[in-house]
Chains A and B, each alone.
Chain A
Amino acid sequence: MSSLSLFLVVLITGLVLVIAGLGIAILLAPTSFNLQKGEPYECGIPTHGTSWMQFKVGYYLYAILYLMFDVEAIFLFPWATIVRDLGVQGLYSIVFFIVILGLGLAYAWKKGVLKWM
């Protein structure tokens, strides 16, 4: 059996778990109607306005930084498996690569991206 077919089996197993669970819950659980049940959870007073609004930009800056390093990780993983074969040559090239990315982090740090305001 190939890994791919097993991967699909695991994926379907996860989906079936949720669907079957929700199905059983909907069949078994009692329901009752109450107007107040549908209101958003708040501290006691009715909630004010919608929550789909502009949000603090700090979170997005971290997300962008993450993107940079995550792509780096994708490049590094294949290299990591053959370090022994590449030898010193591989070390030089990857030091160059990591230093450039480190400079990127240092630049963001200097610019104050990592400072929470």
Chain B
Amino acid sequence: MLLEFSQPLEYTGLANWFDTTLGSWSLPVKLILVAVALLAAYAIIAMILIYVERKITAFFQARIGPNRVGKYGILQSVADVIKILLKEIIHINNVDKFLFFAAPFFMVVASMLTFGAIPFGKALQAVDFNIGVLYVTAVSSLGIIGVLLAGWSSNNKYSMIGAMRSGAQFVSYELSAGFALMTIVVLTGTMSFSEMIAKQEFCWNIFNGHISSIIAFVIYLISGHAETNRGPFDLPEAESELTAGYHTEYSGLQFGFFYLAEYLNMFIIASIATTVFLGGWMPIQIHGFDGFNQVMWYIPSYAWFFGKTGVLIFLSLWVRWSFPRLRIDQLLNLEWKYLLPINLVNILVMVILVIAGLTLTDLFPILAS
């Protein structure tokens, strides 16, 4: 076991793991296994997140939260899923039927495609593209098509206003998120998630590029939070003015899919921030303390990943319940007049740091892995 860790690590995808362990099985079986694993992870993570959010929210508001179904209400989300499956899908008059039907597909498929590219642990990644970061920014913005379709096809004023707000907001903050990730691409010189994690063994990216990285991290958290329509940025579904925003007219499982995608997006933002800035599934490693490092490797990599992601999700919930909702002009000003210019300057600062050799791994080459 220890010998294995002293060898250079192999960063392989889930599919390659199937290749080696199930070498004799036929290709379709392996692909179906990948699909089943993804589906299970998708559903289970969404259910856990919904329970965790309700419970933490309750504590923030000095309530008890769900506590009837199962011990401490653990089975509450299971009950909710069964309930939502048994709800009638109501057909609304005067909607654009095809687009109304198509909208949940965009939401779920966009989050699923992004979900597939996340490295959950050592060799636990469905699709490992060499352009991972670009792929994630591209694919996750498909979701906004679903939101706009839902809002427009519903033929309802609440939906329309909600969708337009959501569109403007998502499109604006998408830029900041992309540029913040680009800052780290400048630092690491790779867009592949697995290579990025490999380079962070002794020095996480957030420390490696010190000033610039920390600014990028904060900007990514803010814009990621805004992209998921949560917290102080939840104007698209501001319940006091727009009832439920773009999914007002949806009922039953179609509404459930929007709900599912929203929670998954929160998880995806947190996990990409973990992967890109906080070392992903890599355990905490301190150069020179070999005994400590080996002990850390005994904690499974997915535990590290979910631990770091969980901290970020908790941070997002904390923000959500601490700040009042912004107005649409304040929201757009924050992005276009503050975050975007800061981001552009920040990229240049990072380039100078990299070229002048002022990053931590350049200054202390023993930290580079």
Contact = CB atoms under 8 A, between A and B. Distances in A.
A58 B171 CA distance: 13
Nearest to A84: B189
B254 A22 contact: yes
B88 A30 contact: yes
B34 A6 contact: yes
Interface stretch (B61-69, B222-230, B345-353): B345-353
Interface in A74-117: 76-77, 80-84, 87-88, 90-91, 94-95, 98, 101-102, 105, 109, 114, 116
Nearest to B131: A77
Contacts of B253: 21-22, 24-25
B175 A56 contact: no
A10 B127 contact: yes
B155 A50 contact: yes
Contacts of A70: 174-175, 178
Which of A3, A55, A88 gathers the greatest number of chain B CB atoms within 10 Å? A3
Interface string A19-33: 001101110111110
B328 interface: yes
Nearest to A68: B175
A95 B274 CA distance: 29
B303 interface: no
A62 B168 contact: yes
Given A10-B112, A65-B336, A83-B355, A15 B105 contact: yes
Contacts of A95: 348
A12 B39 CA distance: 11
Interface in B90-130: 90-94, 104-105, 108-109, 111-113, 115-116, 126-130
Nearest to A48: B157
Nearest to B13: A6
A41 B92 CA distance: 9
Given A40-B94, A80-B186, A14 B112 contact: yes
Interface residues of A, number: 66
B86 A29 contact: yes
Contacts of A98: 344, 347-348
Given A80-B182, A102-B341, A114-B337, A10 B113 contact: yes
Contact of A66 (B86, B88, B113, B172): B172
Given A65-B336, A102-B344, A114-B337, A29 B249 contact: no
A114 B336 contact: yes
A13 B179 contact: no
Contacts of A42: 156
B213 to A, nearest CB: 14
A66 B352 CA distance: 26
27 contacts: A6-B127, A7-B113, A10-B112, A11-B113, A15-B109, A17-B42, A18-B105, A24-B85, A24-B253, A25-B85, A41-B156, A52-B152, A56-B164, A62-B168, A70-B175, A73-B178, A73-B182, A76-B347, A77-B182, A77-B185, A90-B355, A95-B348, A101-B344, A102-B341, A114-B332, A114-B333, A116-B329
